[in-house]
Structure 1
Amino acid sequence: MNYGFAGMSVQKNLQYLLAQRNLNANSLSEASDGVLAQPTTRRILQGESKDIRDKTLDKYAKFFNVELKDLKFGDLEKGVQLTTSSENKHLADFNLWDGETPLESDDIELPYFKEVLFSAGSGATQVIEETAKKLRFSKRTLKNAGVDPSNAACGTNYGKSMENTILDGASVGVDKSKTTIKDGKIFAFDHGGMFRVKRLYRLPFGAVRVVSDNTDKIEYPDEVMTAEKWENEVRLLGWVFWWSTIDTWR
């Protein structure tokens, strides 16, 4: 069988797999604990995968739970697989759907947080849940994260302040039941009508330190909010349990 040029397939398939999980070369390296190195991923994405050994490509296949042959020669975006292994679960995990697609038994739709003008002309804004826009999740994914679907919602991270962890424009999942600050965890909060995503740390006398994951601390310095400022200006929305990977409440 003539499968065609493997290098082009690997490049296209990896682009697809990364997009499905909102990952890039940097965040993939972090999510895989450095096993899938950023330089190698960039070589593949730039079409330089022809000379990369199967032993290395197999690490990508195992991370994304696909067969090596499918990664090299299939067309994963179109669902074209060369193997039918029961271990090949990526299509089940990332089915394409739209608003007309019926919910499957393991699916649930979560509302989105959005920023709205509270009163015309006043300039006051507030973060509310938008029922019209939803993101579909697997109930199994929420269960694995220890999240009750009734307490879950989504939002969008804007800006580069968290880019070493969460990309600009990435969707995030929020557990609204967890509103007690646990040091170092990422939380979503309404700050004067702005939806923000940051790491939070408790400080003496009720103050809170707000930390960005971007290493450029000149542009993204830590913020310290007094107890009064935190109480009057901030509404904690919940713990961010999902973006491109699952976090744990430990």
Structure 2
Amino acid sequence: MKTLADRINQKMAEQGFTQQSLAERAGLSQAAIYKLTSGKTKETKKLIQLASALNVDMQWLATGTMRSNPSTAANAELIGGFDEWDSNTPLLDDEVELPFYREVELSAGTGKFHVAENPGAKLRFAKATLKRVGVSAEHAACVKVSGDSMEPVLPDGCTAGIDTSSTRIKDGDIYAVDYEGQLLVKRLYRILGGAGGIRIRSYNEHEYQDVDCIGTDAEKLIILGRVFWWSVLR
């Protein structure tokens, strides 16, 4: 394919795109796609979006040649930007607000805590995202991870989403639990044989030992839900 127009037209034909459908997929106008496919426009600043929409290598789309080193092949996709919002911003049709859990003191000065919903904190999620991972909005909540026990996977300060309908242990999965009033995010394992029980394990195993909850100790552990998502700011 000698020209950019040739390459775009080839991939459009292979994938069944019209000018309008490609424009919508790439975030361009139909007029811009027409100019590119007709050869009236020889180059575009929207090459990343166009390559992503056509599911092709950006260098091939721009030059007609592929990268010689497979280790530098694209492994990410441009999705879009960020929209600012606060507690006063109305929810979109495809959005829901998920509650946060926190530790709450049972009574002043007792030093005893339980885990409850934090009424002042919410996180917005797209319904489509929850549906894609099989989590219903009414069973979704969030927790904030603190400390270094789950590093490097879940670093201090990251936010995790939990599915409160998923409380059956799958060995090695990450769960949010209420253990004697402490809100923990840990990997869980079933202890088989004998009295049975649950093993609490951190990712940072060098500094944090396993905690085995056996017998009455296992009854003190309440599984709040399985972690299905987490987000990290660097």
Query: What range is the shorter-chain TM-score in?
Result: 0.5 to 0.7
Partner of 1:240: 227
- Offset, 1:114: 0.7
Corresponding residue to 1:187 among 161, 175, 178: 175
Letter in 2 for 1:207: G
TM-score relative to the length of structure 1: 0.61
Question: Which residues in structure 2 correspond to 1:176-215 (within 5 Å)?
Answer: 176-204=164-192, 205-215=195-205
Partner Cα separation in structure 2 for residue 161 and residue 100 of structure 1: 35
Partner of 2:145: 157
**1:147–1:58 distance in 2 versus 1, CA, 3 Å:** same
Q: Secondary structure at the match of 1:213?
A: coil
- Offset, 1:215: 4.2
Matched, 1:118 2:106: yes
Partner of 1:173: 161
Q: Secondary structure at the match of 1:243?
A: strand
Partner Cα separation in structure 2 for residue 132 and residue 138 of structure 1: 20
Partner Cα separation in structure 1 for residue 215 and residue 94 of structure 2: 42
**1:202–1:171 distance in 2 versus 1, CA, 3 Å:** same
Per-residue Cα deviation, 1:89-126 (whole angstroms, up to 9, x for no partner): 322xx422111211111111000001111111211111
Partner Cα separation in structure 2 for residue 194 and residue 95 of structure 1: 34
Partner of 1:85: none
- Offset, 1:183: 0.9
Partner Cα separation in structure 2 for residue 100 and residue 56 of structure 1: 45
- Offset, 1:185: 0.7
- Offset, 1:58: 6.3
Partner Cα separation in structure 2 for residue 168 and residue 131 of structure 1: 22
Partner Cα separation in structure 2 for residue 198 and residue 221 of structure 1: 12
Partner Cα separation in structure 2 for residue 189 and residue 102 of structure 1: 32
Partner Cα separation in structure 1 for residue 180 and residue 110 of structure 2: 13
The runs of at least 4 consecutive aligned structure 1 residues that moved more than 6 Å come to 54-58
Larger relative contact order (Cα-Cα within 8 Å, sequence gap ≥ 6): 1
Q: Secondary structure at the match of 1:140?
A: helix
Largest Rg, 1 or 2: 2
Q: Secondary structure at the match of 1:230?
A: helix
Partner of 1:127: 115
- Offset, 1:206: 2.8
Partner Cα separation in structure 2 for residue 145 and residue 206 of structure 1: 31
Letter in 2 for 1:140: A
What's the C-alpha RMSD, in Å, of the aligned pairs? 2.1
Partner Cα separation in structure 1 for residue 114 and residue 153 of structure 2: 26
Per-residue Cα deviation, 1:145-173 (whole angstroms, up to 9, x for no partner): 11010001001111111112111110110
